[in-house]
Copies of this chain bind each other. A is one copy, B any other.
Amino acid sequence: MTRIPFEEMKATIKKAFMTAGMPEDKADTCARIHAESSRDGVYSHGLNRVERFVDYIHKGWVDVHATPVLEKQLGSMEVYNGNMGPGILNAIYAMNRATELAEQNGLGLVSLNNTTHWMRGGTYGWQAAEKGFIGILWTNTESCMPTWGAKSSGIGNNPFIMSIPRKEGHVVLDMAMSQYSYGKLQVTRLKGAKLPYPGGFDQEGMLTDDPGMIEETRRILPMGYWKGSGFAILLDLISSLLSGGKTTAAIDKYDKGSCGSCCQVFIAINPLMINTQEFIDNALGDTIEQLRVSVPAKENGKIFYPGEQSLRTREENSELGIPVDDSVWAKVKELAQISI
């Protein structure tokens, strides 16, 4: 396994994006987010996603020059048209605007219609937390998972993120609606391994932990069975109704790549307008203490708060370099026109 220093990875991705026609400042931000995702261990939406993003630019599915345009302003709520601009830049803009609204009133909600893939959803949860705000955000997607009770695809994987600022490390939940991603299935299959728990259905309609069988049926399992299925439907509908944008069903028909013309919702709340810092510190401290003193399921097992493992991976990869798949890294260097 090769490990690449963060700055080298970022600079290489930036060149790849500029070569594809992105202005330098935009390429710089997008490259930073991709490199940060890989650094934090979300490889699927970091370096590994660069080639596909460049392909979308070439196909005209992402407009590198587009920026969000305000469509509606209602008190603490604003609706923007993302104009099919780069999903990362649109989402950073929207989350930032939500925190500005929350700075004034305690609460801000910004929705985006007509935007594109935001890559790692957690990015914008961390962004809110870094600025001292609670973040609640989600996106809809094209359909890629059967509704509970169905075997053909009908609902999106719709990641949902919640984040809370904390001095010693933000508390961040970043979850998609499927129990496992297709990326996880592929990686597990290539290792010749089984999933830790059943992740979908085989040809006979039985739950299985064999990743290859699930890739064949494409019947991935919503987390919590009917619960993740229902949650995906509500996240999809509410993101459309809050932004005036496309539902999963409409994104399927539009068909401009993964998340092409999707909708997103960004909520920011200023906890210091409601509580003192001391109250907040105690609430966070007591809760994390309650996890720490739990009896571990496995001897010497450790119980983590949401976001803690990302932070550990971040530290390790910052120190040792970010692990890359050699063929993926070679491809990104090729896109950056760096001779290998």
Contact = CB atoms under 8 A, between A and B. Distances in A.
Interface string A289-312: 111001111100111111000000
A235 B279 CA distance: 17
Given A224-B227, A274-B243, A286-B249, A105 B134 contact: no
B164 A238 contact: yes
A181 interface: no
Interface string A259-302: 00000000001010111000110011011011100111110011
| Copies of this protein chain in the complex | 2
A131 interface: no
Interface stretch (A40-48, A53-61, A144-152): A144-152
Task: Sort chain A's interface into a size bin.
Answer: 35 or more
A151 B107 contact: no
B149 A74 contact: no
Interface string A210-239: 000000000000011101101101111110
Contacts of A290: 143, 154-155, 248-249, 252
Q: What is the predominant secondary structure among interface residues of chain A facing chain B?
A: mixed
A287 B234 contact: no
Given A106-B77, A306-B234, A295 B152 contact: yes
A11 interface: no
B236 A287 contact: yes
Nearest to A207: B197
Given A173-B230, A249-B286, A297 B146 contact: yes
- Candidate in A109, A223, A295 with the most chain B CB atoms within 10 angstroms: A223
A179 interface: yes
B146 A294 contact: yes
Contact of A234 (B162, B240, B279): B162
- Candidate in A104, A146, A233, A252 with the most chain B CB atoms within 10 angstroms: A233
Interface string A61-89: 00000000000101111010000000000
B234 A171 contact: yes
- Candidate in A153, A243, A250, A269 with the most chain B CB atoms within 10 angstroms: A269
Contact of A223 (B147, B164, B224): B224
Contacts of A231: 162, 173, 175
A321 interface: no
A147 B75 contact: no
B234 A295 contact: no
Contacts of A240: 283
Contacts of A151: 294-297
B241 A274 contact: yes
Nearest to A196: B225
A213 B111 CA distance: 46
A173 B252 CA distance: 23
A101 to B, nearest CB: 9
A287 B290 CA distance: 41
